[in-house]
Amino acid sequence: MTIFNNIEFQYVDANGVTLRLASVGSGPLIILCHGWPESWYSWRHQLPVLADAGFRAVAYDVRGYGESDKPHAIEAYTLNALAGDVVGIIDTLGYEQAIVIGHDWGGPIALHTALSYPERISAVGSLSVPHFGRPPIPTLDLWREIYKDRFFYQLYFLKEEIAEAEFEADLRLSLYLTYTSIDARGMLHQQQQPQSGLTGIKGPDASFLEGMHQFADYPHWFQPEDLDYLVSQFELSGKRGPFNRYRAQTLDWYESAHLDGAIIEQPAFFITGDLDPVSQFVPMETRITDLVAVNYRKLLIAEELENVGHWTAEEAPEQVNHHLLAFLARL
């Protein structure tokens, strides 16, 4: 066990894999799930705040990332497998229940765990990605239909070894471009130069990094030392495991047939930024915070933060922490 800025690291065996946990505090358990291409480090602004509020806050490297195990097979990255990891952490730490919160892909992990193990998850929240319910066709088929004539990053990530090679050729540049292209500043730039980013107007055969704008300076929320740490983590993990989460989506659809029409029963929250590109993947006339309410039984908080992009908890930590504490106080 090691210490990093008062955060304890430990390795636990859960659901057949070894996972690295970053934890602080004591009390009821809160598990924080990160997304792509992230790390436990994405929750660095939330861990001490949750601990000070009387909780044991645990952020972990999702399988495939950082210092957690990195299975090779695509089927090792289904939502069923990843939800099993969350429950395995709860078991290993000796708890009966936990609150689970996720950002980006961590949102579906948290939500799928709440749906699949309702007796183990007392409350759930997500940032950026809400519970939309099971789509009528596999998600990747939906993207193929919507983006048949132009680029979409999730379809590009299906190209095994090709997607990895592009990203890993210069991890520092790839991570910098990814993080700064879809924060608030990057999204405002894309309104002027729409060829960059996750969707853009690139052709369907374009690469992920092609056309992305490289800012000369760092945004306020993301500094060189943050990038240094993330590069060190992806030097350990590579990109196959992270990309396999996208590649497993069709397996998810078939494995979740029993959850068709299921809604989130636990007390829940959803927070997004008004510039988050996730809300633009499918054209909608309704505000996303209004749309998601139909998929929850007890949606206590639904907030859209002004001038915030995709990296919600890092771009606007004070606002996010305020809403997290307000949510926890209502449980």
Classify residue 88 by burial, with Cβ atoms within 10 Å: 0-12, 13-18, 19+.
middle
| 61 CB burial (10 A radius; 0-12, 13-18, 19+) | buried
Q: What is the C-alpha to C-alpha distance for residues 188 and 111, in angstroms, rounded to an integer?
A: 30
Asked if 34 is an active-site residue, the reply is no
* Per-residue tokens: 330: 């209502």
| Strands 296-305 vs 2-4: parallel, antiparallel or unpaired | unpaired
Burial class (CB in 10 A: 0-12, 13-18, 19+), 293: exposed
Catalytic residue among 69, 104, 183, 252: 104
Tell me if 82 sits within 8 A of 104, measured CB to CB. Answer: no
User: Which residue among 34, 103, 112, 310 is the active-site one?
Assistant: 310
Tally of CB atoms within 10 A around 189 = 17
For residue 85, indicate whether it is catalytic. no
Q: For residues 306 and 319, what is the distance between their CA atoms, to the nearest angstrom?
A: 10
Tell how far CA 319 is from the center of its chain.
Answer: 18
Q: Which residues are catalytic?
A: 104, 310
